[in-house]
Amino acid sequence: MVKENLAKVEKNIIAACERAGRKPDDVTLIAVSKTKPVEMIEEAIEYGKKEFGENKAQEMKQKYETLPKDLKWHFIGHLQTNKVKYVVGRACLIHSVDSVHLAEAIEKESEKKNVISDILIEVNVAGEESKFGLKTDETEELIRNIAKFPHLRIKGLMTIAPYVENPEDNREIFRSLKELSVDIKSKNIDNVLMDILSMGMTGDYEVAIEEGATHVRVGTGIFGERDYSI
Ligand SMILES: *Cc1c(COP(=O)(O)O)cnc(C)c1O
């Protein structure tokens, strides 16, 4: 089932790229494997998938230790400073930095491990109260405050759009995140790249790609519904 789903999602990604006049190689599909067992991830690996997304620090660490070392792990969940140690040096990209405090903790741990950590800034474009992430108009200031950290590299922006029945309802949110990234890029802040836009999940990744997503995070569409009761 995992392999068939991956093939279907990849086909949809190619079609969305065609509609938008983009190259499929410019879009990375992150298979969000949170809560899913190693056996299912192994099926995806057999298919050829190498990039996975996890939202819990210890779960990511454990899967990282268990599975082959040539995989790439994206940390996509809210990160508490006391869990930073599990993620730094293991995640290829931390998608969810939304405070100076967290950035400082990642900087310290990266210095200790002698690595450079690639990060994204999480923006709560929709302004949903229940979600983490910065307000759009706070983003540039945070970026300026953490751009000077020598062990961090700010690669772009991430957003989690609301759950909607009709993916078109999120188009404006994806467009706003793209606009914000173009705006920040134009300021040429040292150490700030803005070439990654992580947006779009199972329900709306095609619209996100049409609006410029470089990384889509798809869980349910690949691994099926998650069961949080067990
Ligand atoms: C769980 C999760 C996803 C994947 O969601 P699906 O709707 O299952 O595709 C994507 N991004 C983040 C940040 C998540 O926590």
Burial 132-159 (b: 16+ CB within 10 A, else e): ebbebeebbebbeebeebebbbbbbbbb
* Angle, CA of 128, 149 and 142, to the nearest 5°: 25
Question: How large is the average pLDDT for residues 81-89?
Answer: 98
The pLDDT confidence band at residue 131, using thresholds 50, 70 and 90, is: confident
Tell me what percent of the residues of the chain surpass a pLDDT of 70. Answer: 100
Question: Rounded distance, CA 122 to CA 11, Å?
Answer: 28
Question: How large is the average pLDDT for residues 112-138?
Answer: 94
Per-chain mean pLDDT for the chain: 97
Structure tokens at 191: 């150490």
- In the three-class reduction of DSSP (H, G, I as helix; E, B as strand; rest coil), residue 13 is classed as helix
Query: Which pLDDT does position 129 carry in this prediction?
Result: 84
Identify whether the C-beta of residue 190 lies closer than 8 Å to the C-beta of residue 156: no
- Ligand 1 center to residue 142 CA distance, Å? 24
Question: How large is the average pLDDT for residues 128-145?
Answer: 93
- Ligand 1 center to residue 197 CA distance, Å? 15
| pLDDT tens per residue across span 23-45 | 999 999 999 999 999 999 999 99
Complete DSSP assignment for 152-216 = EEEEEEE--PPP-SSGGGGHHHHHHHHHHHHHHHTT--TTEEEEEEE---TTTHHHHHHTT-SEE
**Whether pTM exceeds 0.85:** yes
Identify whether the C-beta of residue 75 lies closer than 8 Å to the C-beta of residue 51: no
Q: Whose CA is nearest to atom 13 of ligand 1?
A: 76
Closest by Cα among 203, 221, 197 to 22? 197
Question: Rounded distance, CA 109 to CA 73, Å?
Answer: 18
Q: Provide residues with CB under 6 Å of ligand 1.
A: 32, 34, 55, 76-77, 160, 201-203, 217-221
Is the pLDDT confidence value at 230 over 70?
Answer: no
Is the pLDDT confidence value at 124 over 70?
Answer: yes
| pLDDT tens per residue across span 158-168 | 999 999 999 99
Query: Which pLDDT does position 127 carry in this prediction?
Result: 87
Identify whether the C-beta of residue 51 lies closer than 8 Å to the C-beta of residue 31: yes
Tell me what percent of the residues of the chain surpass a pLDDT of 90. Answer: 95
Is the pLDDT confidence value at 115 over 80?
Answer: yes
Mutation to probe ligand 1, out of 13, 217, 226 (largest number of atoms < 8 A from CB): 217
Is the pLDDT confidence value at 71 over 80?
Answer: yes
| pLDDT tens per residue across span 173-213 | 999 999 999 999 999 999 999 999 999 999 999 999 999 99
Is the pLDDT confidence value at 220 over 70?
Answer: yes
